[in-house]
Amino acid sequence: MAPVDVIRVAGGARLVGDVSVVGAKNSALKLMAAALLAPGETVVSNVPRITDIAVMAEVLRRLGADVRADGDELSISVPERPGAEADYDLVRQLRASICVLGPLLARRGYARVAHPGGDAIGSRGLDMHIEGLARMGAEMVNEHGFVIANAPRGLHGATIWLDFPSVGATENLLMAAVLAKGVTEIDNAAREPEIIDLCAQLTAMGARIDGAGSSRLEVEGVEGLRPVRHRCVGDRIVAGTWAFAAAMTRGDLAITGVDHRFLEIALDKLILAGALVETGPQRLRVRMDERPRSVDVVTLPYPGFATDLLPMAIALASVSDGASLITENIFDGRFMFINEMMRLGAQVQTDGHHAVVRGRERLSSAPVRATDIRAGAGLVMAGLCTDGVTEVSHVHHVDRGYPGLAEDLRRLGATVARGTVPDLPEFTL
């Protein structure tokens, strides 16, 4: 039985103090991929030291890049002719690695990238990536677990309508379009802050992009791009996690390093729940003095309530006064997390993509398992609201998005320990 990492958290803590948020994982990974578009050394700063970044660094190394870390900076030296194949052993660990498809196709006219893995939160097909690149002139084939893209004459501009504002598809098509011949229009594009951050880096590299932050991107292709220095935007999901943790524990947290405007709807929900929220440049403060009131939450593409904060919303609802209706519209597997919350005594009933959560004064401690990054963080925060010690296993998922979570919790007043336990064996008939 292989050992697994666990976090043990004692209930009853009130989180108080200052916490700083580093760069956004969901932005940094794509900024790293964008470095492939220009030969030379691109430097990305404010990068979180998490396992997903290490996996993406290895993906880039196998494509011929030299990747070096110095504090929160990554230096990525890209050769004149990078490799064109991203193998399964790495791609299966990190869904975001599919974002090398667009840059490689633009630079090399050919790419062979394994179908990605990542969190178990439901189906996330590549149809929009493939259809969009095909409109730009690429021949796209699915074969033996790989996406194979071929554009020997180069890519050309096209008008592309996305059936859904997919972040990944928007990023891949955007990075392919910056070196395509002519003008590419991407309609119903994703509007997330991470997309704006990627557009900012690409523009600094010499790309011509209009409409960043809107649902319509217009990209005029250029002959080539240059390497740059770029600072990654702060992680709004990590900041939101801390904001909900402050409300759940009736705590008082000052959160710095992120633009509060990226969290407007989430913060509005916390205000409705009874929290005092103060905001300023690159900072926000959340204080909750009484038991939270129940609030309804509906996840939607940005600027709606982020699906990545749904586990935190359910954890908050589980200790709130009243009943909350939580609706998930993005990922069909996000509610897998609810089974673990129910082990902690949460009163939840699900019906399709709806969950009714009836709050309790306090949850009950139990061993639970993290099934993905955000579910793991939500379970750790829920453990702060139990009547004993909660053990969250498989927290390697949490490490993929929250650097030093246990240390931060201890500094903010929680009793937290990290260790390993033997994994349970798998039984077969």
Predicted confidence at residue 424, as pLDDT, reads 56
163 is catalytic: no
Which one of the listed residues 119, 197, 235, 372 is annotated catalytic? 119
Distance separating alpha carbons of residues 412 and 17, to the nearest angstrom: 6
Q: Which residues are annotated as a binding site for phosphoenolpyruvate?
A: 25-26
Q: Which residues are annotated as a binding site?
A: 25-26, 95, 308, 330
Which alpha helices (DSSP H) does 140-192 contain, by range? 167-177
Q: Using one digit for the tens of pLDDT, what is the confidence trace for 253-297?
A: 999 999 999 999 999 999 999 999 999 999 999 999 999 999 999
First-to-last C-alpha distance (Å) of the chain: 19
Q: Which residues are annotated as a binding site for UDP-N-acetyl-alpha-D-glucosamine?
A: 95, 308, 330
Three-state DSSP class for 209?
strand
Distance separating alpha carbons of residues 419 and 397, to the nearest angstrom: 15
Distance separating alpha carbons of residues 147 and 9, to the nearest angstrom: 42
- In order of start, what are the domains of the chain with their CATH numbers? 3-21+236-422 (3.65.10.10), 25-231 (3.65.10.10)
CB 189 within 8 A of CB 159: no
Q: Using one digit for the tens of pLDDT, what is the confidence trace for 164-216?
A: 999 999 999 999 999 999 999 999 999 999 999 999 999 999 999 999 999 99
CB 78 within 8 A of CB 36: yes
Whether residue 311 has a cis bond before it, omega within 30° of 0: no
Tens of pLDDT along the chain (429 residues)? 568 899 999 999 999 999 999 999 999 999 999 999 999 999 999 999 998 899 899 999 999 999 999 999 999 999 999 999 987 777 777 777 889 999 999 999 999 998 775 444 444 468 899 999 999 999 999 888 888 999 989 999 999 999 999 999 999 999 999 999 999 999 999 999 999 999 999 999 999 999 999 999 999 999 999 999 999 999 999 999 999 999 999 999 999 999 999 999 999 999 999 999 999 999 999 999 999 999 999 999 999 999 999 999 999 999 999 999 999 998 777 888 899 999 999 999 999 899 999 999 999 999 999 999 999 999 999 999 999 999 999 999 999 899 999 999 999 999 999 988 877 555 444
The pTM assigned to this predicted structure is: 0.94
CB 284 within 8 A of CB 295: no
